[in-house]
Structure 1
Amino acid sequence: MPGQTRPVSDERDGLLAFLEQARYRLKLTGYGLTPEQLRAAPSASEHSVGGLIKHTAYTEAGWIDTMLQRPPTYPQRYPWDQRFDVEEGETYEDIVKFYDEVAAETERAVAGLSLDQEVPIDHSVPWNPQEYDNWSVRWVLFHLIEETAQHNGHADIVRETVDGGTQYTLMAAAEGWPESDFVKPWKPASE
C-alpha cells in the first residue's frame, strides 16, 4: 500500500479508505520487531508498540459493537481493561491478524448502514457530551480515523525509541522500496 490514501469515489469510500490507511501505518510500527521489542515500553509512555496496535483494534471493535447496538464482541476482562497488554508468546502476526479481522468486520458493518444512522451516546463516561443523545455512523468513522491516527503517532514515537524505525523507513522496508536520496529502508540492527 503506498504512503498516500488511494483516490476515493464518495464519502463512505473516503472514510473507509482513510481509516484503512491509518490502520496500515499503525500496523507498520510493529513491522520487524521481535516479540520482546513488541512488548517493550522504552519511552516515557507505559505502552508498547504491540499494545498500542492491539488497543486500537479492540477500540475499533468496541465502536462497531456500539454502532450496531449489540453486546461487546470482545468483553473487557476487568472494568479498567483497555487491552494494552501483549501476552507472552503473542506475535506481531497474531496482532495484525486480529486487527485485520476487526477491519473486515468494520467494512461489512458500514456497507449495510446509512452514514446518517443514529448511534447512541454512552453517557456513563465523562468525556462524552451529555447534551446530545446520538452520534452518527459518519461520526463514528471520523472518530475511528482520529483515534487510529492518535495511536499511530504514539506508536511511531515508541517504535523510534525501540530501534530507530520510523513510518517511511518501515514502509520502504515492508514494501521493498529501493534505497533513495529520500528514504533508506529500515533494517534490523543485526544487519
Structure 2
Amino acid sequence: MAGNVRPVADERDGLLSFLEQQRYVLRLAAHGLTDDQARLASTKSTLTVGGLIKHVASTENGWMDTVLQVPQKPFHEAMAEYEDAHRLREDETLAGVLARYDEVAARTAEVIAGIDDLGQAVPVPKGVPWFPQDVDAWSVRWVLLHLIQETARHGGHADIIREHIDGGTAFPLMAAAEGWPESPWIKPWTPEPHPA
C-alpha cells in the first residue's frame, strides 16, 4: 500500500479507501509482535497495541449496528463489553483479534455497499451518555468520516506504544510488512535479537 491511498473514483470509494488505509496503518503497529508484546502497556497509559485493535474493531462493528439500527444492548452490558474491548485477554491472541478486524472490515464494506445514499439518516441512539442529545441523526457519510477519525486517532496511540515496545516505527514496519528492499532512505524493521 506504500503509505498512501490510491486515487479514488468517487466519494464512496474515497471514504472506504481512507478507512481501509487507516485500518492498515493501525495493523502495522502490530507487525511482528508476539501476543505478550501485544498485551504490553509500554507507556504510562494502560493502552496496548492488541487492545487498541480489538477496541477499534468493536467500535467499527458497533457503528455498523447503529447504521443498520440494530437495537442497542442495555447500558450495563454495553459498558462491560466496552471495557473488555480495550484489552487483549490471556485467552485471546493477536492473530485472533486481527482476524476479527478483517471480519469487521468486510462487514462494513457489505453494509455500505447496500446503502444507495450516503446522506441516509442514521438515528442517534438515545440514552447513551457519549452521544449528543440535541442531534436526531447523523448521515452514513458522517459515520464513515467518524470511523476514519477514530481509527487514525487510535493508530497514533498504537504507533507510540509500539515504539516504546521495541523501537518499531511506521515506515520501517511498513517496509518490513511489504517486503521493501533496504535503501539509503529506509531500513525495514527487523526483530531485535534475543540474548542467548
C-alpha contact 1:37 1:162 (8 A) present in aligned 2: yes
Code of the aligned partner of 1:2: A
Separation of aligned partners in 2, 1:41 and 1:132: 36
What does residue range 74-85 of structure 1 map to in structure 2 within 5 Å?
Answer: 79-82=79-82, 83-85=85-87
Equivalent position of 1:70 in the other structure: 70
Change (3 A) 1:89 1:129: closer
C-alpha contact 1:159 1:166 (8 A) present in aligned 2: yes
What does residue range 12-23 of structure 1 map to in structure 2 within 5 Å?
Answer: 12-23=12-23
From 129, 132, 135, the counterpart of 1:129: 132
Deviations 1:128-183 (A, max 9, x none): 33222000000000000000000000010000000001111110001110111221
Equivalent position of 1:87 in the other structure: 89
Q: Which moved more, 1:175-184 or 1:13-22?
A: 175-184
Identity of aligned residues (%): 56
C-alpha contact 1:115 1:138 (8 A) present in aligned 2: yes
Separation of aligned partners in 1, 2:178 and 2:163: 19
Q: Unaligned regions of 5+ residues in structure 1, if any?
A: none
Code of the aligned partner of 1:116: G
Separation of aligned partners in 1, 2:60 and 2:27: 14
- Structure 1 ranges of 4+ moved more than 4 A: 75-78
Between Structure 1 and Structure 2, how many residues are aligned? 190
Q: Unaligned regions of 5+ residues in structure 2, if any?
A: none
What does residue range 1-191 of structure 1 map to in structure 2 within 5 Å?
Answer: 1-71=1-71, 79-82=79-82, 83-113=85-115, 114-190=117-193
Separation of aligned partners in 1, 2:109 and 2:27: 18
| 1:80 Cα deviation after fit | 4.1
Q: TM-score, normalised by structure 2?
A: 0.91
Code of the aligned partner of 1:69: Q
CA RMSD of aligned residues (A): 1.9
